[in-house]
Amino acid sequence: MTLKNQYLLLVLGFLLLLKFVWVPVQEWQSESILEIELKTKQLNKMRLMLGASDQISEADAKTQALLEEAKSAIPTTSNVEEFKLSMQQIVEAFAKDKGLRVQRYSWSPSNQAMQGVIKEILELRLSGSMQDLIAFQNEIEMQNQLINTEHLNINVTKSKSGKPSRFRGVVRIGFYAEVQS
């Protein structure tokens, strides 16, 4: 074999090494570098998260407490009709207690206040003294439960003594409840 042929063989060997060893290994190394960068970032995030785990737990506890407080304003029910009945009984009891006369009541169709929470509206036709109405409203709105006066439409008639004592009108009250399936 001549020297020239040996050189050519060397070059061929070198090129084959490049093609089948160097290039694949370099490609593997490039992929490894990318993977290392990604994993380093992931690890840094994990370390940050571990460092802040106490604050995260504390924030979670606070948020959960706030959520529970917020949820406590909205009763939970699995039976809407039972809920409506109990609310109606409460309202009737308040009205009776305050000396108001309930001439008629009716329920409007249910509304979805938000996901999982319904709003039931009770319409009452009432009459009585203005003072009793205010006391009744105060009683309703002092409840911790979320109850909204949706609508109030009253006509006031002045008594002979000169004070606006009597009314007749309609009150719509909204009750909110979380429905459990």
Partner 1 sequence: MRNLTSKFNELLIHFTGVYTQSSKRTSKILVVPSTHYVHKQKTLVQASNKDIKNLIAIESKSLKPKAFVTTDIVKNGEACTINFYAFDAEWVIEHAQKALFLVPESWIISFAMSARTVLGIEEMFIANTDKGVSSIQKSPLMSSAYLFAESNGIAPDNVVVSDLGIEYWVYEGMKNVPVRRLLGMFNPSIQSALYEYDYRPAIVCSALVLGVYLGLSSLFYYWKLQSLNEEITTLTPQLSNAFSSANSTEMASSSLERYQSLLNTRMFTVPIWLALKPIYEANAKLTFVRYLVDGSFTVAIEAESASGIINQLSEVETIDSVTLIGDVQRLKSKEKFQVSIKLAGNKQI
Binding site for partner 1 (CB under 8 A): 3, 6-7, 10, 14, 17, 21-22, 25-26, 28-29, 32-33, 35-36, 39-40, 42-43, 46-47, 49-50, 52-53, 56-57, 59-60, 63-64, 66-67, 70-71, 73-74, 113-115, 117, 134, 137-138, 141-142, 146, 148-156, 158, 162, 164, 169, 176
Question: What is the SS3 string spanning 45-66?
Answer: HHHHHHHCHHHHHHHHHHHHHH
- Closer residue to partner 1 (CB): 60 or 81: 60
Supply the minimum distance, in Å, between the C-beta of residue 83 and partner 1. Answer: 16
- In angstroms, the CA 83 to CA 138 distance is 22
Closest distance to partner 1 from the beta carbon of 78 (Å): 19
Backbone angles phi, psi at 75, to 5 degrees: -65, 155
Q: What does the alpha-carbon distance between residue 29 and residue 127 come to, in Å, rounded to a whole number?
A: 86
Residue type, 135: A
